[in-house]
Copies of this chain bind each other. A is one copy, B any other.
Amino acid sequence: MKKLRLYTPGPVMIPAEVQLEIAQPIDHHRTAEYRRMHEELHGLLQYLFQTKATCLTFTGSGSAAAEAAIVGCCPPGHKALVYRNGKFAERWVQVCEKFNIDHTAVDLEWGTGVKAHDVAERLTADPKLDTVIVVHSETSTTALSDMQAIAKVTRERDALLLVDGITAVGALPVKMDEWGVDVYITGSQKALMLPPGLGFAAVNDRAWQRIDSGKMPVLYNDIKAYRKSLDTWDAPYTPANTLVRGAVLNLRGIKERGLENIWAETALMARATRAAAKALGLKTFAKDQADSATAMVVPDGVDEGKLRKTMYGEFGMRWAGGQGHLKGKIIRISHMGYIDAFDTLAGIAGLEIALEKQNYDFELGAGLTAAQKVFAEGM
């Protein structure tokens, strides 16, 4: 038997009851039933983002929501500070380039997070900068940025703060209104435990004021069209309504479990995994470590391709590799979504056996035991 276990930091595994909810006979979306569902989704998203802001649901990946928000918040006359510390941060710089948005791109070492003091200094040095774009948890490197601290300095300087929370929202503490973040983005295939195909954006009044001052140069990802459709709990174009149905079910479950509990469980899995890595003599990659996923550096003498091939081909375990220049150098395991302590232990067990097959020098079971101790204390 070879059971499929998905450890990739998105898509993550999906509860069977959600898959079956999505598989229910499809209904039309220009209906009272869809509108009721959309209204409920909106309230649940406000809980998820911890906000009173408008929450939009895009038919597309998280990148669709991010493009809509960035383009909307950066009309001519405004200038964005964009940090590039990984594969997804890079994409938001590309949005600025494509749409001729005036911007400064700051390259950070991959694996590090954005620092609040650096944001403060750059905003002070260039008074034209009035918009900051940061990735909360960079999926490609598992690096964390301290959004609470960054929000404090951007709010003090009256800059608009847009946060890619795709691998953060629903996994890591996110308190949009309390912190003062103006736009938060997420996608369906991470902590929301859904198939890919929906992007979400929470947009507060400060952001809308900026958005309303300009014209949207796109149709499909026109954030104003999405807001307008909320008047009737509708969608501007045909929505992926089976996924919306799944989202409502999952978010109800998330609210029932309580975000604080989910954040704590996610952090516990991350701590256990880091303890396992240490016991196996593996370095974690990120200097500023996010709890939504862990990246481990593949040690000398171990072949990353072979390692993941053994785990998937022989054990059915799908870990992620590295992206960009990290290809072949790191492996990544997720702590988001429909995954628990015992799945995590199974993943570590698979890693140990795969390492042993490459004659990597370590004590078999050491990773498992180290993780087990963390779980025993935390559960």
Contacts and interface: CB of A to CB of B under 8 A. Distances in A.
Interface of A: 4, 6, 8, 10-11, 13-14, 19-20, 22-31, 59-64, 67, 91, 94-95, 98-99, 187, 189, 195-197, 216-222, 237-243, 318, 320
Contacts of A241: 11, 195-196
Contacts of A239: 61, 196
- For the complex of A and B, list the 8 residue pairs with the smallest distance between their C-beta atoms, beginning with the closest: A197-B240, A19-B23, A195-B242, A23-B23, A61-B238, A63-B237, A60-B60, A98-B219
Given A64-B60, A237-B63, A320-B28, A98 B222 contact: yes
Contacts of A243: 195, 197
Nearest to A18: B23
B67 A195 contact: no
A6 B13 CA distance: 30
A167 to B, nearest CB: 12
A375 B95 CA distance: 54
A94 B29 CA distance: 22
What is the predominant secondary structure among interface residues of chain A facing chain B?
A: loop
A26 B10 contact: no
Given A6-B28, A28-B8, A238 B63 contact: yes
A25 B14 contact: yes
Contacts of A59: 60-61, 64, 196-197
Nearest to A187: B238
Number of copies: 2
17 contacts: A10-B238, A11-B28, A14-B25, A19-B26, A20-B23, A27-B318, A59-B196, A60-B64, A63-B237, A98-B218, A98-B219, A98-B222, A99-B217, A99-B218, A195-B241, A196-B238, A196-B240
Nearest to A62: B238
Interface centre among A8, A29, A61 (most CB of B within 10 A): A61
Given A26-B195, A99-B218, 17 more contacts: A6-B25, A11-B26, A11-B27, A11-B241, A19-B23, A20-B23, A59-B61, A59-B197, A60-B60, A63-B238, A67-B218, A67-B220, A94-B219, A98-B217, A99-B217, A195-B242, A195-B243
A56 B378 CA distance: 48
A245 to B, nearest CB: 10
B23 A6 contact: no
Contacts of A220: 60, 63-64, 67, 220-221
Nearest to A217: B98
Contacts of A222: 98
Contacts of A218: 67, 98-99, 218
A139 to B, nearest CB: 10
A251 to B, nearest CB: 18
A63 B239 CA distance: 11
Contacts of A95: 219
Contact of A195 (B99, B217, B240): B240
Nearest to A19: B23
A11 B25 contact: no
A25 B10 contact: no
A320 B30 CA distance: 9
A88 to B, nearest CB: 10
B197 A28 contact: no
Nearest to A321: B30
Contact of A26 (B14, B28, B98): B14
